[in-house]
Structure formats: C-alpha cells, structure tokens
Amino acid sequence: MKEKLQTGDRIEVYRNLHKDCFSIRKNGRVVKYIYDDDKLHMMDVKFAVQPAGRAKVLRERKKNVHAFVRGIYTAPSESVDAWQYRATYNPYKMGCFFTTFGGNTSPIHSATRATLSRGKVFVNP
C-alpha cells in the first residue's frame, strides 16, 4: 500500500469479510483499511452491484466482492449520528443497495454524501 489517499481522490469501497473492515481501492489497488470506529467520508456517491457477481453468490451460496460504494474521498462534514439513513446490501434480499425507514424498504443508487463507520454505510441523500 504505497499510494496515499488524498481529498478529492475517486475511490471505491467494499466490505472485507476476511479482515472485518472496509477496504478502500484507488485506481484498482487497495490503499487503506477502515476498522471499527474509524470513519471514511465520501461525496458524489454511487452504489454499484455487479450482476454477474451477485448471480454467482446466489448460485454458489458463497460471498465474493461484487458490491461497491464509489465516490470522492472528502473531509468530514457532519457527525455520523446526525444522519438519518443507513444503506445496506444483502445479495440474498435485493439486487441493489437499499435503505429501510419506518418499515419501508427503498432502493438507493446514489447519495450526496456518505460516511462509512462501524461496518455500516450512513447516507445523506
């Protein structure tokens, strides 16, 4: 991991089940890991799921890396606790990321800002 992460970098993040953290990729290479209470802030966020990867998970019942949070690395703007929505992905439930609020589940494909912490993605649509 020789490449540094700087504000304004385009990154993609995925949940690393082997290390129990988030892995951050820049230019296709992992440059950082986010553990426990560390926070990662992003803007201009897109939620991406690769359909072939999801199909393989459903077929083999074995998880693989095929879902990402993509966006621009940025400085913190608000406290995570003040954000209302949590984006979740479960390949066995839906083919996209989703939010649940008041018992209603809605797909989410993008967000203005996101904060990743404690193994969760908090969004400000």
* Percentage of the chain exceeding pLDDT 90: 78
- Is the residue at 104 inside a domain? yes
* Strand-pair partners of 85: 123
4 inside domain: no
Structural domain contains residue 1: no
CA distance 38 to 13: 14
Q: Is the pLDDT of residue 30 over 70?
A: yes
Q: What is the count of structural domains for the chain?
A: 1
Residue 49, domain member (yes or no):
yes
By percentage, how much of the chain surpasses pLDDT 70?
91
Whose tokens are 């479960």? That residue is: 90
Range of the domain at 61: 10-124
On whether residue 3 sits in a domain, the answer given is: no
Tens-digit pLDDT profile for residues 50-102: 999 999 999 999 999 999 999 999 987 655 556 668 999 999 999 999 998 87
User: Is 2 a domain residue?
Assistant: no
Q: Is residue 53 part of a domain?
A: yes
